[in-house]
Amino acid sequence: MNRKPGDGTAQVAVRRYRGGDETDAVAVEEPLLIRLQWPEDQRDLAVTMRTPGNDAELAVGFLVGEGLLGADNEVTHVDVSSDFATDAVVTVSIANAPAAELLEHERNFYMTSSCGVCGKAALEAVRIRANYDTAKIPLTVSADVIRSLPQRLLAEQPLFAGTGSLHAAAFFAADGTFSELYEDVGRHNAVDKLVGAAFRDGGLPAVDRVMVVSGRASFELVQKARLAGCGMLVAVGAPSSLAVELAWEAGMTLVGFAREDRFNVYSVPTRIPDLS
């Protein structure tokens, strides 16, 4: 396998059916330890399998999605210890200790790239109190814009074009204007990178933007969008029953199976005024 440090893809040798020996680009997947530090203590929170790149944003977004960072928390420093030949560690330092109850929920410290709610003791443990009231967000988006979002998302995915195997999460304005996008081998990691970048830039809550994801809409992705103060999540794939339940509970608009010619609205359809 051949790859450069910091690159999200690697070249591997393949033998194609009736095509001989060649090389192919594959997405890189490596472990990252996320550590939270405050003046009195620190805690290793999780090891996630991710595509290297934007590790600081991933760690900050993970903490936002766990309810450990919000409007009243100041990130004082983010240290990225990254060597692609060894394990990488991101230490996020905050000014004040997190609420003790948020650290009480046990998690498995190892998470695969497709897992986000692994190790949660119970459903109630992931119903984290949000900092923003997403039900009151006055965002409206036309049906034409929603139908255009999957292709606009794909057009902004440089690594997917080379590997065909990376998920993406992006913010778009209500009129369909592209804002920013992040890719990763894990769906939840891509969202964490997106949310983490917005948090560091002072862009949360994301009340004026639509979050678009390339895969299905799981409970955790709705939760992450909710904690980012986003009122609408559009997914290319299907939602889960629990994702729909949480979206209604949070007053979020959840769209699934988004295509150029169709989409389904699973919660709060009033944000799409020309739906009928």
Hey, which residues are catalytic here?
A: 115
**Residue 135 amino acid letter:** A
Measured distance CA(25)–CA(1) in Å, rounded: 10
Q: Which residues pair with 216 in a beta bridge?
A: none
- List the alpha helices (DSSP H) in the chain: 55-65, 100-104, 123-126, 143-155, 158-163, 187-200, 219-227, 241-250
- Picking from 52, 73, 51, 53, the residue whose alpha carbon sits closest to that of residue 63 is 73
Whole-number Cα distances in Å, 179 to 56, 88, 127, 194: 19, 28, 28, 10
Per DSSP, the residues of 8-72 read: SEEEEEEEETTTEEEEEEEE--EEEEEEEEETTEEEEEEEEEE-SS-HHHHHHHHHHHTTSS-TT
Q: Count CB-CB contacts under 10 A for residue 86.
A: 10
CB-side exposure of 160: number of CA atoms within 13 Å?
Answer: 20
